[in-house]
Amino acid sequence: MSLLRTLFFYIVFFPATIFFSLVAVIGRNQASSHWCERNWGRVVVWLCASTDRVDLSALDENQTYVFMVNHQSFYDIPLLFKHLAPWKFKFVAKKQLFDFPVFGHAMTAAKHISIDRENRRQAMRDIQNAIDTADNGNSPLIFPEGTRNPAPEKDGLMEFKTGGMVLAIKCQKPIAPVVMYGVNKVCRKHSLWMNPFQEIKIKALPPIDISGYKVRDRNKLKEQLAEVMGAAYAELKDE
């Protein structure tokens, strides 16, 4: 049954991804992009048939946040598009992802935030783009670990990067920590092989007010965020 579902996933996934990406590119407006992202996420989650236990009760749908989410696999992306649909959020992602054919063009059309890690001057412009995004009511979404965690079951969360903290402080919006558990069971790092029928847990933690933080406090914020998200991850694991 699982193998048949996996094969069915691939039969539908690639045409659906191309369709929604092309609609986003052709539409080139935020309404069509949000529609494509939300519905692509729903389709992919339906194809994977994961059982999602989601608690976002700590968040206000009318508030703009800087989302901070732990990162385990490619499957994080459709899950977030589906379950964070009430917020028009924008991924903060490395520049190379925007170079992918079709999908990368759709990310550009949707105005997700590219970060050039190899060009400091461009990176500063990218941070300003994130600030402008937040000021316009769109919530930047950051993976503070910086990359997908290859062994979350064994190691818990990886060390957070200070770059995400700097961006969050400059945006001056509340941080909304969101912890996900079990996503790596669906799809592991460096793999597109999908394992259906897995249980996923997603929990939003109380927002963190950063109005009193300055850039010089980035390490303090990193440690605070890592502590609360790490504790929540351990709780989800033990449930």
Residue 35, pLDDT score: 94
**Nearest to 175, CA basis, from 204, 199, 132:** 204
Residue 1, pLDDT score: 53
Q: How far apart are CA 21 and CA 26, in angstroms?
A: 9
Tell me the backbone φ, ψ of residue 29, rounded to 5 degrees: -140, 160
Decide: residue 227, CB within 10 A, 0-12 exposed, 13-18 middle, 19+ buried. exposed
Say yes or no to pLDDT of 54 above 80: yes
C-beta separation of 190 from 147 below 8 A: no
The pLDDT tens digits of the residues spanning 132-152 come to: 989 999 999 999 998 888 888
Domain assignments of the chain as residue spans, ordered by start: 2-238
pLDDT band at 62 (very low <50, low <70, confident <90, very high): very high
The pLDDT tens digits of the residues spanning 183-211 come to: 999 988 777 788 899 999 999 999 999 99
Higher pLDDT residue, 188 or 25? 25
Q: Does 3.40.1130.10 match the CATH number of domain 2-238?
A: yes
